[in-house]
Amino acid sequence: MENLRIRKYDGQELAALAFVPVEPIMVLLVSHGFRGAKENGGKIYSFASRLQELGIAVYAFDFIGSGASDGSFADITLSRQGDDLAVVMDYAYNRHQLPLLLLGRSFGGSTVLAGGSKDQRVAGFILWSTPVMLKDCFARIMGSDYNKLKEGQALRFQDEAGEFALNPGFIKDFDLHDMDQYLATIASRPVLIVHGKEDEAVDFTNAEYAARQLPNSQLYLVDQADHRFTGMTREREDITINWLRETFPHLS
- The pLDDT tens digits of the residues spanning 51-107 come to 999 999 999 999 999 999 999 999 999 999 999 999 999 999 999 999 999 999 999
Q: Write down the domain spans for the chain.
A: 14-247
| Topology of the domain comprising 14-247 | Rossmann fold (3.40.50)
Q: Tell me the three state secondary structure of residue 158.
A: strand
pTM of the model: 0.97
- The pLDDT tens digits of the residues spanning 118-159 come to 999 999 999 999 999 999 999 999 999 999 999 999 999 988
| Span 200-225, average pLDDT | 98
- More confidently predicted of 30 and 162: 30
Q: How confident is the model at residue 160 (pLDDT cuts 50, 70, 90)?
A: confident
Report strand pairing: 100-105 vs 122-128.
parallel
* pLDDT attached to residue 110: 99
CA distance 100 to 115: 13
* pLDDT attached to residue 162: 83
- State the alpha helices, DSSP H only, in the chain: 44-53, 78-96, 107-116, 134-142, 144-150, 169-172, 179-185, 205-213, 233-247
- More confidently predicted of 251 and 48: 48
